[in-house]
Chains A and B, each alone.
Chain A
Amino acid sequence: MLKNRYFWLFMSPVSILLLWETSTRSGLLDARFFPAPSVIFYYLIFTSPGEGLWTDISASLYRIFWGYLAGCASGIVLGVSMGLNHTVRMMIYPLVALLYPIPKIAILPLIMLVFGIGEMSKIVVVAIGSFFLVLINTLHGVDSVAKIYHDVAQVYRIKKHNFVLRVILPGALPAIFTGLKLAIGYSLVIVVAAEFSGADAGIGYLIWQSWETFSIKAMYAGIFVIGALGLAFSLILNFLERCLTSWRDTDQ
């Protein structure tokens, strides 16, 4: 059992939760601010669903899904175009370097001016956040495709669309996945921050609302859900990555 890597994978979070549980129950931690994890889980599983937890989760998931999808798709398309075309690269790169470091939450008010305070502004801010991370990693991936594959494609007169779809994209895929994984975590951060203000549902809304009404258990429930979503997303992306880049010489 000690040799099983999944054992160790679960061991570290479980031991932290145990430490927390005993600290609260022994009175070392103030139970009003740090309720025991068992209490939070009980609340999360048996009480909160009745209070509309699913509405909040599905509202956040909806925003993440469309924002992430739009951001990643446009990041990949523009990253590949910049990687393959020098003019496009020179034109877009200064804009990317300029806009990338601006905290996306800082432009949320601006986005809300343009897209209104509804769903669209939250989807757009998630999309912008994902876009830059995926774009930069895709560009790096296209650059990392070895010159010899360009040579092979040129000598054998590979058609342009085949070159992009079957040489450049698979070659850049490992780097693209790095971008996708960074972007999904960042999407969670952004969606929660965006929901703190000007939302009437969502995990961020739940946490903020709970804080204002001093429903500490509900606040922790929201935080736990974010953690669980983060874990689930990264497991899904790792699985996809293993399937799509199985040709790599890494499992030896």
Chain B
Amino acid sequence: MQISTTRLSKSFSRKEQRTVAYENLNFQIEQGEFFCILGPSGCGKTSLLRTIAGLETATSGELNIQPLNASKPGSIGMVFQEHGLFPWMTIRNNIRFLLENNRQMVSRDLDAIVNEFIDLVGLTTFADYFPHQLSGGMRQRVSIARSFANEPDLLLMDEPFVFLDYQTRCALHGLLLDIWQRKKKTLVFVTHDIEEAVFLADRVLLMSAHPGTVKSIIDINLPRPREFLTLRKLPAYQDQVSELMELLREECEPFNL
């Protein structure tokens, strides 16, 4: 799936007060790329992602989502910050429920798909547990499995690892890259974590805050497959991180970060 925007803007009005979420965004996301939207909190990056997902509408400008196959509308998968799983369904049913509602999955062996993706995220023995019986990291693994199992044309992730501890987050970065490389999906990933963006992305869109605009779009030229422990020693990696840090620092200057 290919996404392009022209002068995309969104603002909220409440009690005569107009707040701009994002303004005048122009960018393109290519088929099959890992695209990160990076910015300080309050820059409208989550709002932008929700607009792409169809959960919100932009106030002005154009958002063009081009499906791979023009005859059928492309499907979207999404991973939220937390609590995206239905607490009254087991892990297995959380994945299966979405498949049952997916027209592309009619006449497919749903049980086999569910099992494949539960195995893929290493939760085979937890398949019949309820979400509250799992740790936060395990729950996000289920969310990731669920989003990939649907074979979406586009995957959207809204800071999915923000509430996890550092160790778990590193492990899930590896897992996510592994699955993404096997399934080759267009993936848009929102984060405020610079290292996370550099480690995962092909390209990073850096947003400025108040109002949210495109500050720059940076190519991450690091080899794949990436492995965190080796990658972090590469000078290229460190350069990219510090370049982004300096750019982000300008954004936070008034607060003297």
Contacts and interface: CB of A to CB of B under 8 A. Distances in A.
Interface of A: 146, 148-149, 151-152, 154-159, 162, 166-167, 170-171, 173, 245, 247-249
7 contacts: A148-B84, A154-B54, A155-B77, A162-B100, A171-B88, A247-B130, A248-B87
Contacts of B55: 151, 154-155
Given A157-B75, A245-B88, A247-B88, 11 more contacts: A154-B54, A155-B53, A155-B54, A156-B77, A158-B97, A162-B97, A162-B100, A162-B101, A173-B88, A247-B89, A247-B131
Contacts of A162: 97, 100-101
A148 to B, nearest CB: 6
B232 interface: no
B52 to A, nearest CB: 10
Contacts of A158: 97-98, 101
Contact of A152 (B78, B102, B130): B78
A171 to B, nearest CB: 7
B228 interface: no
A171 B87 CA distance: 9
Contacts of A155: 53-55, 76-78, 156
Contacts of A146: 83
B101 A157 contact: yes
Given A155-B53, A156-B150, A249 B76 contact: no
Contacts of A248: 87, 132
A139 B75 CA distance: 32
B86 A149 contact: yes
Interface string B59-82: 000000000000000011110100
Contact of B132 (A171, A173, A247): A247
Contacts of B150: 156
Contact of B102 (A156, A166, A170): A156
Interface in B127-166: 130-132, 150, 156
Nearest to A150: B55
A149 B84 CA distance: 7
What are the nearest 10 A-B pairs in CB distance? A249-B132, A170-B88, A247-B88, A155-B78, A156-B98, A247-B130, A158-B101, A159-B101, A155-B53, A247-B87
